[in-house]
């Protein structure tokens, strides 16, 4: 594999010492394979996969129109089996299907009912002035006292948990899409400008539109 930062934390080009990402190693242990990193700055050690994208665009998709996503997928399945896998590859001089059957197919092992790898995304975020953290362009509230603090965020596909000093301080159901907000009002209570106390109600005063006639008589100094 390439030396992408998401996969390889460190790779010395002289000694070839490699330190893989911990999540990648967990994934490799689950599926029982050994990752290997390409030599840095040695393009010849990389697989020739990037040019395949252009081949699919020009050969499989260009000039075609599809009524639905399912229609496009059905077209691509047929194209892979009847065109791409049977053509003579320019570098290997073999058809991809023949090369696969002679090489990789014999090395593959059955999954034997192994459950899928449950990916958990672990992030570090700084709590914003709005009492939120923002993983994946969505906002989730945390207690206002943590504004400016660094917190650990664990997203497991359905749940987003926020930890600080080893304790879970907030938990939300993961929202779908982007630019969405999940807010717990209790997290905002006490924050300046967000939860002000309600001022006491003023006593109701009934305006006096008219006064008894004797008060007018007293004001003018006698009766009418």
Kindly state whether residue 65 falls inside one of the protein's structural domains: yes
Burial of 44 (0-12, 13-18, 19+ CB in 10 A): exposed
For the chain, how many structural domains are there in total? 2
Same domain, 68 and 125: no
Residue at token pair 């300046």: 192
Rounded Cα gap, residues 39 and 11, in angstroms: 8
In the sheet where 167-173 sits, what is the strand order? 121-126, 150-155, 159-164, 167-173
Give the domain extent around 167: 121-187
Whether 19 is in a domain gets the answer yes
Answer yes or no: do 101 and 129 share one domain: no
Residues 103 and 125 both lie in one domain: no
Does a structural domain hold residue 201?
A: no
77, 129: one domain: no
126 shares a domain with 102? no
Per-residue confidence (pLDDT) for residue 195, from 0 to 100 = 46
Let me know whether 126 and 103 are in one domain: no
* Digitized pLDDT (tens) for each residue of the chain, 224 residues in all: 888 888 999 999 888 899 998 888 888 888 889 999 988 877 777 766 667 888 899 999 999 999 999 999 999 999 999 999 999 988 788 999 999 998 889 888 888 777 777 667 778 999 999 999 998 889 999 999 999 999 999 887 688 999 999 899 999 998 888 889 999 999 998 776 554 445 555 555 555 556 666 776 776 666 54
- Say what the pLDDT of residue 149 is: 95
């Amino acid at each position: 594999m390439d030396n992408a930062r998401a996969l390889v934390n460190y790779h010395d080009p002289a000694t070839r010492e490699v330190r893989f990402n911990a999540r990648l190693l967990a994934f490799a242990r689950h599926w029982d394979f050994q990752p290997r990193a390409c030599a840095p700055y040695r393009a010849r050690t990389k697989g020739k996969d990037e040019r395949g994208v252009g081949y699919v665009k020009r050969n499989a998709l260009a000039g075609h129109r599809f009524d639905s996503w399912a229609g496009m997928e059905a077209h691509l399945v047929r194209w892979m089996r009847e065109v791409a896998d049977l053509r003579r590859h320019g570098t290997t001089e073999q058809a991809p299907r023949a090369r696969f059957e002679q090489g990789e197919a014999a090395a593959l092992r059955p999954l034997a009912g192994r459950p899928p790898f449950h990916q958990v995304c672990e992030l570090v975020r700084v709590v914003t002035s709005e009492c939120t953290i923002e993983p994946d362009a969505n906002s989730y509230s945390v207690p206002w006292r943590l504004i400016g603090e660094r917190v650990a965020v664990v997203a497991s596909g359905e749940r987003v948990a926020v930890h600080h000093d080893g304790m879970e301080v907030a938990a939300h159901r993961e929202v779908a899409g982007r630019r969405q907000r999940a807010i717990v009002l209790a997290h905002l209570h006490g924050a300046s400008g967000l939860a002000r106390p309600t001022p006491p109600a003023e006593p109701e005063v009934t305006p006096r539109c008219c006064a008894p006639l004797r008060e007018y008589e007293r004001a003018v100094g006698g009766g009418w």
